[in-house]
Structure 1
Amino acid sequence: MSKTKIETGSSPAEERFGITVTERGPLLIYGRPPLAEQFIMPDDAGESWYFQEGRRFPTEAEPTALCRCGASKRKPYCDGTHERTEWDPEPTSRDEAELIEGGSLTMTDNARYCVFARFCHPCGDAWTLTERSDAPEARQMAIREASMCPSGRLMAWDRTTGKPFEFRFAPSLGLIEDPAIGSSGGLWVRGGIPVRREDGRTYEIRNRTVLCRCGKSANKPYCDGTHAAVKWRDGLAGEPVGERLPEEVC
């Protein structure tokens, strides 16, 4: 059996944590990680700037089954509707990473993981900022914008040390809500929780990634931003009243 790949800058969660992508049904969550809404919040200019926690949901059941067809009547949990609705459950993910060279930074970009969260644009786009990263302000903002990308599509790397910049996440799950575009998003998986198929094949372990919840992604099990185009809503109706995502990266 081949060794599980671990993305540079990521650390695997404790063995009790895991997510199984069932072949024609829900996501099975193991280890009881905390689960809460995570709202994309704007700055004064209306650009995506930080995440704020909303309603929390229990994960005491072992495993906890979360909907991934998008049609459950008791979201975020599965209610068996996947057996009666038309959707394509087949995982089709593949990597297509590009390298952007800059002054003091490089940035990796895998466009297939874009979840349309828009953290890459507030103060000039992350690609241009990376190219201008010899300038301290451009470097700082490029690191922030890449690190705020919930899916890990973007990752900033120091050109001198070769090390990536990453938030330190505890194993946890977020139900992304995007009020600015009137849509709910995917399941934000943080802290190196392994994601595997029913046959035991494990995807690359990553510090941050987003799994599809609407059932429409063309890059399953990952989210590809289709929820934004179809204006998918999970109907959870929470409010951003909790903690904000920390802004320090290492």
Structure 2
Amino acid sequence: MKIQVSKNGPYIVTGGVPLMVMEISHDDEGNCHGWQKVREYPLQERYALCRCGRSKDRPFCDGTHAAIRFDGTETAGDEPYLLDPAVIRGPELELTDYKELCVHARFCLRAGGIWNLTQRSDIPDARKTAIDEACNCPSGRLVLRDHRTGETIEPVLERSIVVIENPARGEHGPLWVRGGIPVLSADGRPYTARNRVTLCRCGRSSNKPFCDGSHIGD
């Protein structure tokens, strides 16, 4: 399985990667709280996903990028933001925060926010909620480590691509690449493989091919 970024064109997905649509669900107070699968596409060995945000067959590419002369120049570079994250240390959990990866999914805001919860992680409910919020973060901005075991707490994710939708806010989110599927630049350079990656599908990110939250307000 792999995802190849094409020059000023779509993402070329090969290897029979499952593709589905999931919506962000909310609790009674309006907080982002989980995921609901609403559609799964028939499995294909190869397909092309829109990167310009203008296809009439989204999430698939229909060639519109050529007609509008889409500039898909990749600007992510060597991803230096992965080398110097903010670190919040609590009594039982340590939170690593890669701020540049934020896609504004808002799972981190419930119950006072994951930063506050991490600092109160000796309280069972706070610890549990912090872990839930970190594991629901689609971009991998928020990663927790357990002080007691030294292990990183990561969700177990099927290797797949999820089209993120947030109908409660009228937002069409990024492509959520799960399970460490390799992403290669247009010139064949591999990006850092991670369990959770979000790719831009609106065409406006300043951190292409990754999402930077520019879809907010669509």
- Normalising by structure 2, report the TM-score: 0.93
Decide whether aligned partners of structure 1 residues 123 and 95 sit closer, same or farther in structure 2, where only a CA change above 3 A counts.
farther
**For residue 27 of structure 2, what is the aligned residue in structure 1?**
43
Identity across matched positions, percent: 48
**For residue 167 of structure 1, what is the aligned residue in structure 2?**
155
Q: Does 1:182 align with 2:166?
A: no
Q: How does 1:197-212 map to 2 (within 5 A)?
A: 197-212=185-200
Q: Does 1:70 align with 2:58?
A: no
Specify every segment of 5 or more residues in structure 1 that has no aligned partner in the other structure, as ranges: 1-16, 232-250
Matched residue pairs, number?
213
- Normalising by structure 1, report the TM-score: 0.82
**For residue 244 of structure 1, what is the aligned residue in structure 2?**
none
Specify every segment of 5 or more residues in structure 2 that has no aligned partner in the other structure, as ranges: none
**For residue 21 of structure 1, what is the aligned residue in structure 2?**
5
Q: Does 1:54 align with 2:42?
A: no
**For residue 241 of structure 1, what is the aligned residue in structure 2?**
none
**For residue 32 of structure 1, what is the aligned residue in structure 2?**
16
Q: Following the alignment from structure 2 to structure 1, what is the Cα–Cα distance between the partners of residues 3 and 42?
A: 16
Letter in 1 for 2:4: T
Task: Pick which of 78-87 and 166-175 moved more.
Answer: 78-87
**Displacement of 1:86 after TM fit?**
5.1
Q: How does 1:95-110 map to 2 (within 5 A)?
A: 95-96=80-81, 97-110=85-98
Q: How does 1:69-88 map to 2 (within 5 A)?
A: 69-85=52-68, 87-88=70-71
> What is the RMSD of the two structures over their aligned residues, measured on CA atoms?
1.3
Q: Following the alignment from structure 1 to structure 2, what is the Cα–Cα distance between the partners of residues 59 and 198?
A: 24
Return the match for 1:195 from 183, 189, 212: 183
Q: Following the alignment from structure 1 to structure 2, what is the Cα–Cα distance between the partners of residues 67 and 55?
A: 18
Letter in 1 for 2:63: G
| Secondary structure, counterpart of 2:148 in structure 1 | coil
Decide whether aligned partners of structure 1 residues 41 and 224 sit closer, same or farther in structure 2, where only a CA change above 3 A counts.
same
Letter in 2 for 1:217: S
Q: Following the alignment from structure 1 to structure 2, what is the Cα–Cα distance between the partners of residues 59 and 66?
A: 14
Q: Following the alignment from structure 2 to structure 1, what is the Cα–Cα distance between the partners of residues 68 and 35?
A: 32
Contact 1:88 1:216 in 2 (8 A): no
Contact 1:72 1:80 in 2 (8 A): yes
Q: Does 1:216 align with 2:204?
A: yes
**Displacement of 1:33 after TM fit?**
1.4
- For residues 51-91 of structure 1, the C-alpha deviation after alignment (integer angstroms, 9 at most, x for no partner) is 1011222342x431110000111111111111122543112
**For residue 5 of structure 1, what is the aligned residue in structure 2?**
none
Q: Following the alignment from structure 1 to structure 2, what is the Cα–Cα distance between the partners of residues 165 and 72?
A: 37
Q: Following the alignment from structure 1 to structure 2, what is the Cα–Cα distance between the partners of residues 198 and 87?
A: 14
Higher relative contact order (CA 8 A, sep 6+): 1
Letter in 2 for 1:129: L
Q: Following the alignment from structure 1 to structure 2, what is the Cα–Cα distance between the partners of residues 56 and 214?
A: 21
Return the match for 1:226 from 206, 214, 218: 214
Q: Following the alignment from structure 1 to structure 2, what is the Cα–Cα distance between the partners of residues 106 and 137?
A: 16
Contact 2:20 2:41 in 1 (8 A): yes
| Secondary structure, counterpart of 1:176 in structure 2 | strand
Q: Following the alignment from structure 1 to structure 2, what is the Cα–Cα distance between the partners of residues 156 and 180?
A: 28
**Displacement of 1:46 after TM fit?**
0.9
Q: Following the alignment from structure 1 to structure 2, what is the Cα–Cα distance between the partners of residues 209 and 124?
A: 25
Q: Following the alignment from structure 2 to structure 1, what is the Cα–Cα distance between the partners of residues 72 and 142?
A: 26
Return the match for 2:74 from 68, 91, 108: 91
Letter in 1 for 2:64: T
| Secondary structure, counterpart of 1:120 in structure 2 | helix
Contact 1:35 1:57 in 2 (8 A): yes
Contact 1:181 1:228 in 2 (8 A): no
